[in-house]
Structure 1
């Protein structure tokens, strides 16, 4: 199995970061504006990008500390069986987010694309919390001309 891992420091409290990762409103400010279903463990979050997109089951919530989702659905195919997690820790004047998208079956061009897009969206999370406005889809940074 192969994992995508990123780490970013955000000048915000762990509570503010946690809220941005666990509420529809928070998620819509940095990943995709079309987000529904965020809630307690067992909830299914639907992230839509021009109508289609992944669903994730909320697998673990530890306030101000851990958010973990299990891919729940058939799209995109290479994400089947993967998990996304956000581990939060406090640093001087910031909260560190250690992100992972784990359990990929094998490295691929699509995995490389997703790794770069996750970095783009984590920087969008940072901007949303530090500047009040992120760049969620459809206003995200495009990394190729097929998007």
Structure 2
């Protein structure tokens, strides 16, 4: 199994990170338009143009969130997206992992780059008040339909 892993240091408190990762308004501010039930066992829908990604919330607490990918590109199905964060030296360190990829494919590589961009969008949202969610995110390629 393969894992995409990134970390970002954000000049904010852990509670603000939690709010940005655990609500429709928060996620919509850095990733893409989102709706659903943001509690363990709930499902959330993330919208990209004509496609919708369905995630199940496996764990959600003030320092960790885990999502299971349900309805999405077949390569994403049954993968897990994890965020863990802690205060460190007056800022918050966010560790991100997208785990359980079956193989390293062109989509895996593109998603790794896109996740880095979305984490910088999260950082911008929390540090400046303005993220760069889809469709205004940095594009990795010209044929990108959204993810």
The question of 1:146 aligning with 2:143 is answered yes
Q: Map 1:77-88 onto structure 2 (within 5 A).
A: 77-88=74-85
RMSD in angstroms over aligned alpha carbons? 0.8
**Displacement after TM superposition at 1:53 (Å):** 2.9
**Displacement after TM superposition at 1:94 (Å):** 0.8
Q: Map 1:22-101 onto structure 2 (within 5 A).
A: 22-32=22-32, 34-63=33-62, 65-73=63-71, 75-101=72-98
- How many residues align? The count is 144
TM-score (norm 1): 0.95
Q: What do residues 81-133 of structure 1 show as CA deviations (whole Å, max 9, x unaligned)?
A: 10000011111121011000000001111100000000000000000000000
TM-score (norm 2): 0.95
* Cα distance between partner residues in 1 of 2:36 and 2:125: 20
Structure 1 residue runs without a partner (length 5+): none
